[in-house]
Chains A and B, each alone.
Chain A
């Protein structure tokens, strides 16, 4: 059946991605491939899942898989929402620190208001030594 081929290909693709990023904990890898293997079994012999389903009180294996998937998706959603809020707060903190720091620097070195296309006729003498020029530093 076409659907079995498609599902097995999808599982194999996910497996391939996990394999490419395999610099994680061995436990992580084993768990992920275990889940993928279980998925493959459920695709090849779907009626075998009925027994597990009936054992926990669900009639069909396919129904059990859908219920579990919904719970898993909700869990992932909540997890990533929490992560998102956390990252947003870190972004706020960073932006705030940077903004205040830049304002403090601008007290000492006022920002250039306009960028003039041509340099002024007589540039003001720089109090800094020439070595401060970045272009003259060894790369």
Chain B
């Protein structure tokens, strides 16, 4: 259906997502994209569920964190000769239809394309969460020196040759800030693309609260300054 899509690898990091991972993976694979699921040492049947959808599963023997899982997926995709790499969430809050828009941005000359909830649409979020996200965007822009409309939307796409420049060493959630910092440092051409985020009860339960922000800041400033 889409012969040009097989060398675009969609990296999905999953931790205890057995309930939804199969549907998410099928949705992406049906569109013709290559998919690698990184099971970050889940204690449930995430790996089996993803395998049943017919995609490659790379499984961390121990839980390392989302940043480490994404980087493993990126490394794997590069080994398989990926031309574009897309990062996608496992919890079903992203829309598959946004992927071709990201790739189009890359083809139009961007080094890296980031999804933005605030240019697109957010469904099902509470007022408090939107306020928290807006604050995060302000803080994130201050820290990274970039001027973006969204901070850490997990939907991103970049060329394979850009991957070494945005290599993440932050194992947990601080990888998102690390990525933005590296975009700035390498002066990459970054484009924001509107995307749709649908918060569900499932994804909200696994989402980041204000409390985790302290942990993320600690990681960002005190860990692995490379």
Measured as residues with beta carbon below 8 angstroms from the partner, the interface class of chain B is 20 to 34
> Which chain B residues border A113 with CB–CB below 8 Å?
48, 51-52
B68 and A111 within 8 A (CB): no
- Select from chain B the residue with minimum beta-carbon distance to A102: B59
Whether A35 sits at the interface, judged by CB under 8 Å, is no
> Which chain B residues border A98 with CB–CB below 8 Å?
61
Knowing A85-B224, A89-B169, A103-B76 touch, does A95 contact B51 (C-beta < 8 A)? no
B61 and A103 within 8 A (CB): no
Scan B163-175; emit 1 where CB is below 8 A from any A CB, else 0: 0000001010000
Scan A20-63; emit 1 where CB is below 8 A from any B CB, else 0: 00000000000000000000000000000000000000000000
Q: Count contacts on A: residues with CB < 8 A to the other chain.
A: 17
- Cβ 8 A contact of B38, one of A81, A99, A106: A99
> Which chain A residues border B222 with CB–CB below 8 Å?
81
- Cβ 8 A contact of B62, one of A89, A91, A107: A91
- Select from chain A the residue with minimum beta-carbon distance to B226: A89
CB distance from B132 to the nearest CB of A (A): 28
Bound Cα distance from A43 to B62, whole angstroms: 47
Whether B187 sits at the interface, judged by CB under 8 Å, is no
CB distance from A107 to the nearest CB of B (A): 8
Knowing A88-B171, A91-B62, A95-B61 touch, does A100 contact B72 (C-beta < 8 A)? yes
CB distance from A82 to the nearest CB of B (A): 10
Bound Cα distance from A91 to B52, whole angstroms: 29
Whether B75 sits at the interface, judged by CB under 8 Å, is yes
Interface of A is mostly: helix
CB distance from A130 to the nearest CB of B (A): 30
B62 and A96 within 8 A (CB): no
B76 and A95 within 8 A (CB): no
Whether B56 sits at the interface, judged by CB under 8 Å, is yes
Scan B45-84; emit 1 where CB is below 8 A from any A CB, else 0: 0001001100011111110100010011001100100000
B58 and A103 within 8 A (CB): yes
Whether A92 sits at the interface, judged by CB under 8 Å, is yes
> Which chain B residues border A106 with CB–CB below 8 Å?
57
Bound Cα distance from A27 to B201, whole angstroms: 62
A96 and B72 within 8 A (CB): yes
> Which chain B residues border A91 with CB–CB below 8 Å?
62, 64
- Select from chain B the residue with minimum beta-carbon distance to A92: B68
Scan A97-123; emit 1 where CB is below 8 A from any B CB, else 0: 011101100110001010000000000
Whether B223 sits at the interface, judged by CB under 8 Å, is yes
B64 and A103 within 8 A (CB): no
> Which chain A residues border B224 with CB–CB below 8 Å?
85, 89
> Which chain A residues border B76 with CB–CB below 8 Å?
100, 103
CB distance from B22 to the nearest CB of A (A): 14
Bound Cα distance from A57 to B56, whole angstroms: 68
In the complex, besides A81-B222, A89-B169, 8 extra interface pairs with C-beta distance below 8 angstroms are: A85-B223, A85-B224, A91-B62, A92-B64, A95-B61, A99-B38, A103-B58, A103-B59
A-B contact pairs, 28 of them (CB 8 A): A81-B222, A85-B223, A85-B224, A91-B62, A91-B64, A92-B171, A95-B62, A95-B64, A95-B72, A96-B60, A96-B68, A96-B71, A96-B72, A96-B75, A99-B38, A99-B60, A99-B61, A99-B72, A100-B75, A100-B76, A100-B79, A102-B59, A103-B56, A103-B57, A103-B59, A106-B57, A111-B51, A113-B51
